[in-house]
């Protein structure tokens, strides 16, 4: 009797697992790997409904994280969202598939100033997704003077209230800019100086954070933080006491784009997805939700007036005059890695 029971149990388990496995086979799948908090989930549902493709959505925290995961293999994504310098590196290392423009009719909707940029001069590999700047966000009720400089992050008055990004390039860029160097510096002496600056700053820093930085500033846990412009928009929406500023030393102008990795399983669906995300109504809905700035002018026109005129999201040409775009550090990446490891190891 006991034997019969256990065999029956095994059969049931087998049946369940087969049926579960079968469920997954029904629809074609699209594996999307994006930054955390970087899409309106409704848009994904809409895509699933319109195209009958199941989206498997997963997130990463930094470009380096994405790169290592892609390079190590074992995971297959169809669409990923790296930033410009990482795209440059991935193209150099032949990790990306060329995109067939014929399948992306909405490519024409992308604003001209976002095309032909250095990281992908012929727009062969990438379709721009969002763009923005890096700046300082601060709580006006906790900081009694308007901030306007990276050096403010070294002001001892704000000890224990400053949050920095847990991201190698972005945080090094802050120190390099503070020192007046290029954020693409390849000079080891300059990089060592930046390292010393960041180590000097450490006692003043409350924590190094990824996406948690948003909660820390919204809740008043910290007074000052380094953030990407789009996050700043979302944060100010939640807590109007916050203000975003592009420091006078200049900052990083960045572009995130959608690309298809070499080992993609479903390139056709990937192109459909990229085209869908670039469609003005979808791009607008998405940009409105996450707070980042869309490179699709028609989409921007669909946004509420106050968003269109928000200098945080859509700064004037003058305001971004003093900006630099990240370049692939190529061979000097090891120096970056070593310096970052040393900064995080310091007590």
Partner 1 sequence: MKFKRFTIPYILWLSLFIVIPLLLIVFYALSSGDSQNFSTFEFSFASLERFFSSPVYIKVLIRSVRLAVVSTVICLILGYPIAYIISKENPKKRNVLILMFVIPMWMNFLLRTYAWLTLLGKSGIINSIIMKLGFQPLELLYNDTAILLGMVYNFLPFMVLPIFSVLTKIDFKLIEAAEDLGANKITTFRRVVFPLSLPGVMTGISMVFIPAVSTFVISDLLGGSKASLIGNLIEQQFRYTGDWHFGSAMSIILMVFILITMALTSKFDKEKEGEGGGLW
CA 294, CA 306: separation in Å to the nearest integer? 15
CA 66, 67, 71 angle in degrees (round to 5)? 120
CA distances from 96 to 28, 36, 78, 91, 241 (A): 22, 21, 10, 6, 42
CA 162, CA 164: separation in Å to the nearest integer? 7
> Least separation, in Å, of the C-beta of 61 and partner 1?
9
Q: Does 140 bind partner 1 (CB under 8 A)?
A: no
Instruction: Please pick, from the candidates 40, 48, 65, 298, the single residue that binds partner 1 as defined by CB under 8 A.
Output: 65
CA 279, 282, 288 angle in degrees (round to 5)? 130
Name beta bridge partners: 59. 34
Q: Does 64 bind partner 1 (CB under 8 A)?
A: yes
Q: Does 157 bind partner 1 (CB under 8 A)?
A: no
CA 166, CA 206: separation in Å to the nearest integer? 12
For the chain, how long is the longest CA-to-CA vector?
83
Q: Does 194 bind partner 1 (CB under 8 A)?
A: no
Q: Does 220 bind partner 1 (CB under 8 A)?
A: yes
Binding-site size, partner 1 (CB under 8 A): 28
- Judge contact between 210 and 62, C-beta under 8 A: yes
Q: Does 160 bind partner 1 (CB under 8 A)?
A: yes
Cβ-based nearer residue to partner 1, 40 or 64: 64
Segment interacting with partner 1 (CB under 8 A) among 4-12, 109-117, 206-214, 290-298:
206-214
> Least separation, in Å, of the C-beta of 290 and partner 1?
23
Q: Does 206 bind partner 1 (CB under 8 A)?
A: yes
CA 297, CA 302: separation in Å to the nearest integer? 9
Q: Does 141 bind partner 1 (CB under 8 A)?
A: no
Only one residue has tokens 């498997």, namely: 56
Q: Does 341 bind partner 1 (CB under 8 A)?
A: yes
Q: Does 219 bind partner 1 (CB under 8 A)?
A: yes
Which residues contact partner 1 (rule: CB under 8 A)?
62, 64-65, 67-68, 71-73, 160, 166, 168, 202, 205-209, 219-221, 337, 340-342, 344-347
């Amino acid at each position: 009797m006991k034997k019969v029971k256990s065999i029956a149990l095994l059969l049931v388990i087998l049946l369940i697992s087969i049926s579960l496995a079968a469920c997954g086979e029904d629809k074609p799948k699209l594996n999307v790997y994006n930054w955390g908090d970087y899409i309106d989930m409704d848009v994904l549902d809409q895509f699933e409904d319109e195209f009958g493709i199941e989206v498997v959505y997963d997130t990463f925290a930094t470009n380096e994280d994405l790169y290592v995961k892609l390079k190590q293999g074992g995971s297959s994504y169809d669409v990923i969202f790296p930033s410009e310098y990482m795209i440059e590196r991935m193209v150099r290392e032949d990790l990306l598939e060329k995109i067939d423009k014929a399948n992306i009719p909405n490519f024409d909707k992308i604003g001209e100033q976002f095309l032909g940029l250095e990281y992908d001069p012929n727009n062969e590999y990438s379709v721009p997704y969002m763009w923005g700047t890096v700046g300082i966000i601060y709580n006006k009720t906790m900081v009694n003077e308007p901030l306007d400089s990276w050096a403010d992050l070294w002001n001892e008055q704000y000890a224990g209230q400053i949050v920095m990004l847990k991201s190698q390039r972005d945080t090094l860029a802050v120190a390099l800019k503070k020192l007046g160097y290029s954020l693409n510096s390849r000079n080891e002496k300059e990089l060592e100086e930046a390292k010393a600056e960041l180590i000097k700053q450490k006692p003043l820093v409350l924590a190094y954070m990824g996406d948690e930085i948003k909660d820390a500033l919204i809740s008043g846990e910290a007074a000052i933080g380094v953030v990407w412009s789009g996050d700043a928009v979302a944060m100010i929406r939640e807590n109007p006491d916050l203000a975003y500023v592009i420091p006078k030393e200049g900052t990083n102008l960045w572009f995130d784009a959608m690309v298809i990795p070499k080992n993609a399983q479903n390139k056709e669906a990937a192109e459909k997805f990229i085209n869908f995300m670039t469609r003005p109504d979808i791009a607008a809905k998405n940009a409105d939700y996450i707070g980042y700035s869309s490179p699709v002018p028609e989409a921007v026109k669909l946004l509420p007036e106050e968003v269109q005129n928000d200098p945080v999201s859509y700064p004037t040409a003058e305001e971004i005059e003093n900006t630099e775009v990240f370049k692939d550090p190529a061979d000097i990446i090891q120096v970056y890695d070593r310096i970052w490891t040393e900064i995080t190891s310091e007590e």
